């Protein structure tokens, strides 16, 4: 992998842009021309064409350095975006180990991890980090282990503890979320933090998902895709910062849909951790502008149909009500009415 890292901003001037390579590796979330909530779990194993976001266990792409700078700014402005309850220290070290190992495994030219007993040596070449530390000794790192590695990992994480036949959100680093708050959800169980989602409860989606996850095995991670839409290329669309991004929804017009409106996809991978028996949710956010998405004709047709026929409850829940008709109309010119081949990968 010969990655050239972009210099870009996810706030203010919004200079984010995907290269043609990044467009084709985007994890497009719709396998058919309609959408409804589902458990939609599958094994987290390599899939898709070479270079796709599914190829590595923990993905790294051209936005890595810029995303890490944005995370640093968010954590400096709001330290509560990284929190862990006291009993989660073993899970923090589990998380550090998994993320270091998987990044070094997937991108050995960018990262390396050497272990000699509890004496570990981590090298992060893109960020210029060369860190020797003692595994299990927090005093040998500049931050607690979860905080340390998440300043070097794209996406957010939640670490959920398993007890009393439930999953509890007891730790996380969350700076690129789609309108939910770690500070609010910390300490909630699985059913509580999914409470606001419409329609899914009526068909038992979360009951089935919980049963599945309680039986998740170590070494057999799974993944799923989730999505929403974002106006401008803002990673941090948190409730805490709603005054900064909420008004953007009123700025969409036919002439700016292509550059301003983004499909926001979350690639969620779930891992059973070995020492703590907790589950790590890695929630990697990808953005793609409408003018980039329509470069893949199959995606343009499919997303037009999904957005056009989306149930009213989901339109409201995902915050699309104000601008969806404008986007549907804009996308319609890319839908020739032809049948669309199955699957999520570009044809």
Whole-number pLDDT of residue 1: 52
Residue-wise pLDDT tens digits, 196-206? 666 555 557 78
> Per the residue annotation, which of 224, 272, 301, 322 is the catalytic one?
224
pLDDT score of 18:
98
Signed CA dihedral, 55, 296, 22, 175: sign only: negative
Has residue 244 got a pLDDT over 80? yes
Entry pTM: 0.95
* Closest to 200 measured CA to CA, from 345, 72, 309, 39: 39
SS3 content of the chain, % helix, strand, coil (to 5): 35, 20, 45
**Helix locations, 114-198, DSSP H:** 145-150, 182-185, 190-193
Mean pLDDT of 321-346: 94
**224 tagged catalytic:** yes
Residue 206: predicted pLDDT? 80
Distance, in Å, from the CA atom of 335 to the CA atom of 343, rounded to the nearest integer, reads 17
| 222 φ/ψ angles, rounded to the nearest 5 degrees | -125, 170
DSSP state of 317: H
Residue 346 and residue 298 in contact, taking contact as beta carbons nearer than 8 Å: yes
Q: How far is CA 293 from the centre of its chain?
A: 18
Pick the range with the lowest mean pLDDT from 6-10, 36-40, 142-146.
Answer: 36-40
Share of the chain above pLDDT 70, in %: 97
Phi/psi at 54 (nearest 5 deg)? -85, -5
The pLDDT-based confidence of 347 (bands split at 50, 70, 90) is confident
Let me know how long the chain is.
347
Share of the chain above pLDDT 90, in %: 87
Q: How wide is the angle at C-alpha 87 spanned by C-alphas 82 and 92, nearest 5°?
A: 50
Q: What is the CA radius of gyration of the chain?
A: 20
Tell me the mean pLDDT in the region 274-300.
Answer: 97
* Per-residue model confidence as pLDDT tens digits over 151-180: 999 999 999 999 999 999 999 999 999 888
- Please tell me whether residue 193 adopts helix, strand or coil conformation: helix
Q: What is the pLDDT of residue 197?
A: 67
pLDDT at 2: 62
Mean pLDDT score, 225-240: 96
């Amino acid at each position: 992998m010969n990655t050239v890292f972009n210099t870009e901003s996810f706030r203010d001037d919004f200079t984010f842009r995907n290269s043609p390579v990044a467009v084709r590796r985007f994890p497009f979330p719709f396998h058919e021309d309609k959408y409804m909530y589902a458990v939609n779990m599958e094994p987290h194993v390599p899939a898709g064409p070479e270079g796709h976001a599914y190829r590595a266990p923990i993905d790294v792409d051209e936005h890595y350095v810029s995303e890490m700078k944005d995370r640093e700014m968010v954590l400096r402005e709001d330290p509560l975006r990284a929190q862990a309850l006291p009993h989660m220290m073993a899970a923090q070290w589990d998380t550090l180990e998994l993320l270091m190992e998987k990044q070094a495994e997937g991108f050995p030219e960018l990262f390396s991890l050497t272990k000699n007993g509890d004496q570990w040596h981590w090298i992060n070449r893109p960020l210029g980090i060369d860190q020797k530390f003692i595994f299990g000794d927090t005093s040998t790192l500049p931050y607690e282990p979860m905080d340390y590695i998440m300043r070097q990992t794209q996406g957010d994480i939640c670490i959920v503890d398993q007890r009393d036949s439930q999953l509890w959100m007891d730790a996380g680093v969350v700076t690129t979320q789609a309108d939910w708050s770690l500070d609010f959800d910390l300490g909630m169980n699985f059913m509580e933090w999914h409470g606001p989602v419409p329609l899914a409860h009526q068909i038992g989606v979360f009951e089935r998902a919980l049963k599945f996850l309680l039986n998740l095995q170590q070494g057999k991670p799974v993944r799923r895709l989730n999505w929403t839409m974002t106006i401008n290329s803002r990673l941090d669309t948190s409730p805490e910062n709603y005054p900064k991004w909420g008004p953007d929804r009123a700025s969409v017009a036919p002439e700016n849909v292509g550059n301003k409106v983004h499909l926001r996809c979350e690639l969620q991978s779930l891992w059973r951790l070995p020492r703590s028996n907790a589950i790590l949710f890695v929630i990697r956010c990808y953005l793609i502008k409408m003018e980039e998405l329509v470069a893949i004709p199959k995606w343009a047709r499919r997303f037009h149909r999904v957005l056009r026929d989306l149930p009213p409850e989901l339109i409201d829940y995902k915050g699309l009500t104000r601008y969806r008709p404008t986007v549907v109309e804009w996308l319609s010119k890319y839908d020739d009415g032809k049948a669309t081949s199955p699957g999520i990968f570009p044809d």
